[in-house]
Amino acid sequence: MTRPSRVSRARIVSQLKLAARKGDRAALTLATEEMKTWAYSPRYWEKYLELLSHPLARLVDLTVIKQGERIARQKGWPKPKRESPKRRAVGPPARPRAGRGRARRPGAPIQPSLFPEPAGP
């Protein structure tokens, strides 16, 4: 009876590098399955989040597994807050547009019709 091999960060990263360098689908599948093992079991969450420090592992998580954000939220780890955009302090506030579609520019001449209107009945 063969003993199952243990999953390690180095092994996952080496498989991801092999898949990226040579386009090896088997290596990508193995790495993805091992990452899923870590991502879906609470026992390995912290190891999984350490693994996500590697860019290739983060890419696989974002595209295939999508667990990093969920795990962090479940653990109660705060997400770094994004700074709000600076507000413009100069000038009056922009007024909202009325209706849909494009607004006409004020002062733009109205193009005359190419078809003359009929002169009565």
Each residue's pLDDT expressed in tens, for the chain with a length of 121 residues: 444 557 788 999 999 999 999 888 999 999 999 988 888 887 887 888 888 889 999 888 888 887 777 777 777 766 656 666 666 556 666 666 665 556 556 666 676 766 677 776 6
Angle 114-118-121 from CA coordinates, rounded to 5°: 170
Beta-carbon neighbour count of residue 66 at 10 Å?
11
The pLDDT value recorded for residue 69 is 73
Contacting residues for 40 by C-beta, under 8 A, at least 6 apart: 67
pTM: 0.51
